[in-house]
Every structure is written in C-alpha cells, then in structure tokens.
Chain A
C-alpha cells in the first residue's frame, strides 16, 4: 500500500487517514523509508536541473552563428532543395556511370577491330535455304 501511495503522498495528494497511515508506515518500515528518501532525492535533482539557467551569452552566440552561416551562403533552406539535393547528386552519379559505359562501348582499339573476311561478305544470306525446307525434300 505504501509503495502504491508514496507518489500521491510525495505530491501532497493524500489526506485524512490514508496520509496518516502512510506516514506511520514510513516511520516503521526502513525499506519503504529508504525508497521514499531516494524518490525525494530524485524530485530534488529534477528541481535543481529545472533551476539551471542557460548561458547568459547564449542568444548572442546563436545570432553570431546565424550571421556566419548567412555569410557563407547557408541561408534558410528550401525544403524542396533539401530533398532534391541528394536526389540530384545520385542521378548525376548514375548519369556519369551510364555515359561512361556508353562511351567505353563505342571506343574500340585499332588492333582489336574485327574485320569480316571477303569470302563471307560474298555469301548471300537470302539465298541460303532453310534447314526445314531441306528436311522436307
């Protein structure tokens, strides 16, 4: 019961008999009292952290950073550009690879150019009978 109600007790939400019961239990039970004290400490740490203020010159630091960003041309960015930028980079790389392969295929070193023998060029492909026609004879 004490563990269940300790949050409410700590936050001052308990009243009447329940409050008295929790108080008397905390006086008797060492374990519950210990856990209650560490919960109080947790609350106090949170309160202390809440009281910490930002650096006095923080506003100036932020404004200086913004000024230097603007000087470098890093102005308020358009969300479309933010999305398009990586897409443009990827498509540029893909285009470069594609044209590289294309150009590579067009180029043929002089020594490796395949020349058709003259005899083969004389063969009239149209005159060759199909295998099917021959097999029917």
Chain B
C-alpha cells in the first residue's frame, strides 16, 4: 500500500491506518530530532508532537513532493522552533536545566563507560563542547549537515527537502564543515 493510499484511507475516516505511517517514518523523524536536540527524551516528545501535527494537517498534503519529503520539512521546522525557543530561555534557567538533564545526557551517550571517573567527566565535557559547536552553526548549515550526517541523504535529496539547489546544498555543507572545524579547534585549544 502506498503512502497516498494510506493517506486517502485516513482522510476517509480510517484513523487507525495512521499507525502505518507512524511506524514507517518514526525512526526517520526521531533521528532528525536527535540531530537538533541531542537528548532522547526531548527527541521522543518532539517526534510525538510532529506526528500529531502531521495528522492534523494531512489534508494539506497535496502530493507535489514525496510524503517523506513533506514529513522531513515538518520535522525540521518543528525542531528549529524548539531550538529557537530554547535559545531564548534565560541563561540561569538553562544552567538549571543543564544540571537536571546531565544524568540523562550521560545515559544517552554511553561512550566512556569503561573508563575511570575522571575520563568520564572529561569525555562528557568534550561531548558537551562538541554538541555546542554543532548547535552554534547557522540554522540552514546545521539543517544541511544533520540531513547529510544523521540521515545519510544525498545532496539531491537535501536540496529537495530544503527547496534549494544542489549547488547551494554543497556550499552549505562545506561552510558547515569549515565552521565546525573552527569551533572544534577553538574547543580543543581551550582544553
């Protein structure tokens, strides 16, 4: 059964068929959310909100692009909205929420669990710097690099999702890599 057939069934009242779309696309949406948020629980919650949004606006899907492309656009917009909202949270609140979620972050990135506590601490600190470096590159560069690195999309697919040319995607990815390199070098020199 194609996505269009499933959508038509949902729009004709067969709500349970939406489960098929959720099962098919939830990993894809979740991965994109992880790329933007770096936290499993936040990515779970956002994935849920994105699918509610998809369900509520299903009748506005015209089929001009693939359904997955449409889903990606909704997921990226929703993720960027959350990122923008988080960036407006006052600094003190962010420090508080950082300490609250520190445990969760360690659980979601279990890279240093075989090392001593000092290495774990340094490793967690490094991870934080790297995530911050990823988070501070401009939105469109970040979107392109997330679609490329997290979802292994080709430049053509990214161009379609972002509604830009392939050349623009290549340029965005190159600039994102250059920006990331500068930020990671700065982080390394601070260590």
Q: Residues on A close to B: CB < 8 A?
A: 3, 6-7, 34-35, 38-39, 41-42, 44-46, 48-50, 52-55, 58-59, 61-63, 65-67, 69-70, 74, 76-79
Contacts and interface: CB of A to CB of B under 8 A. Distances in A.
Contacts of A55: 40, 44
Contacts of B180: 42
A34 B186 CA distance: 11
21 contacts: A35-B184, A38-B126, A42-B134, A42-B180, A45-B131, A46-B35, A49-B34, A49-B38, A52-B34, A52-B108, A53-B27, A54-B26, A54-B27, A54-B47, A58-B47, A66-B15, A66-B18, A67-B15, A76-B57, A76-B58, A78-B59
Contacts of A76: 11, 55-59
Between B38, B58, B134, B184, the greatest number of chain A beta carbons within 10 A of the residue's beta carbon is seen for: B184
Interface size class of B (residues with CB under 8 A): 35 or more
B72 interface: no
B52 A62 contact: yes
A77 B127 CA distance: 42
B133 A42 contact: yes
Nearest to A60: B19
A59 B127 contact: no
Contacts of A52: 30, 34, 40, 43, 108
B106 to A, nearest CB: 12
Nearest to B151: A50
Nearest to A79: B60
B181 interface: yes
A63 B57 contact: no
Contacts of B59: 76, 78-79
Interface string B18-44: 110011001100110011001010011
B130 A63 contact: no
Interface string B115-159: 000000000001100110110000000000000011000000000
Given A48-B111, A54-B27, 19 more contacts: A7-B181, A38-B130, A38-B184, A45-B109, A45-B111, A45-B127, A49-B108, A49-B150, A52-B108, A53-B30, A54-B43, A58-B22, A58-B26, A58-B44, A59-B19, A61-B48, A63-B18, A74-B56, A78-B59
